[in-house]
């Protein structure tokens, strides 16, 4: 159990367009979901934390108007990169916790975004 999926797995878009990435917990209800960004050959950087039905909490330096996060249900969170630019090209990874009190996060496979 504890499978997290992401869709799409990769996306290429033109500069100025918006891209939506979905993160789903397939076999459990995710009380909290997290969005990370990973640049090539670098570590994961936490972008934001979201709880179902409430506003996401963004890390310092992450533009909330650019990276819109919606945690609509206990199994789905979406990240929308608005007005994407080439510098937004990156690997975006989501994770989810079951709220069992053990703080273990289950990671999705990631979405590679390339902005032309």
Partner 1 sequence: AQSVSQHNHHVILSEAASLELGCNYSYGGTVNLFWYVQYPGQHLQLLLKYFSGDPLVKGIKGFEAEFIKSKFSFNLRKPSVQWSDTAEYFCAVTYNNNDMRFGAGTRLTVKP
Q: Could you tell me the two tokens for 87?
A: 């510098």
Q: Which two tokens stand for residue 99?
A: 């709220």
Would you report the helix, strand and coil content of the chain in percent, each value rounded to 5? Answer: 5, 50, 45
Selected binder of partner 1 within 33, 81, 95, 98 (CB under 8 A): 95
Q: Is 18 helix (H, G, I), strand (E, B) or coil?
A: coil
- Per-residue binder mask for partner 1 (CB under 8 A), 48-87, x = binder: -x--------------------------------------
Residue selected from 28, 34, 58, 67 as contacting partner 1 according to rule CB under 8 A: 34
Is residue 102 near partner 1 by the rule CB under 8 A?
yes
* Residue 1 is a binding residue for partner 1 (CB under 8 A): no
- How far is it, in rounded angstroms, from Cα 16 to Cα 35? 22
**Stretch binding partner 1 (CB under 8 A), from 21-29, 38-46, 65-73, 77-85:** 38-46
Residue 80: closest CA among 34, 17, 31: 17
Residues that bind partner 1 (CB under 8 A): 32, 34, 41-46, 49, 93, 95, 97, 102-105, 107-110
């Amino acid at each position: 159990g504890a499978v997290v999926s992401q869709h799409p797995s990769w996306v290429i878009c033109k500069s100025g367009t918006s891209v939506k990435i979905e993160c789903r917990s397939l076999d459990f209800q995710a009380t909290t979901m997290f969005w990370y960004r990973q640049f090539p050959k670098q570590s994961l950087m936490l972008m934001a934390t979201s709880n179902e039905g409430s506003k996401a909490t963004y890390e310092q330096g992450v533009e909330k108007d650019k990276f819109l996060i919606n945690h609509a249900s206990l199994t789905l969170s979406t990240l929308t990169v608005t007005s994407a630019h080439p510098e937004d090209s990156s690997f975006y990874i989501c994770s989810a916790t079951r709220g069992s009190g053990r703080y273990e996060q289950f990671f999705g496979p990631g979405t590679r975004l390339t902005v032309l």
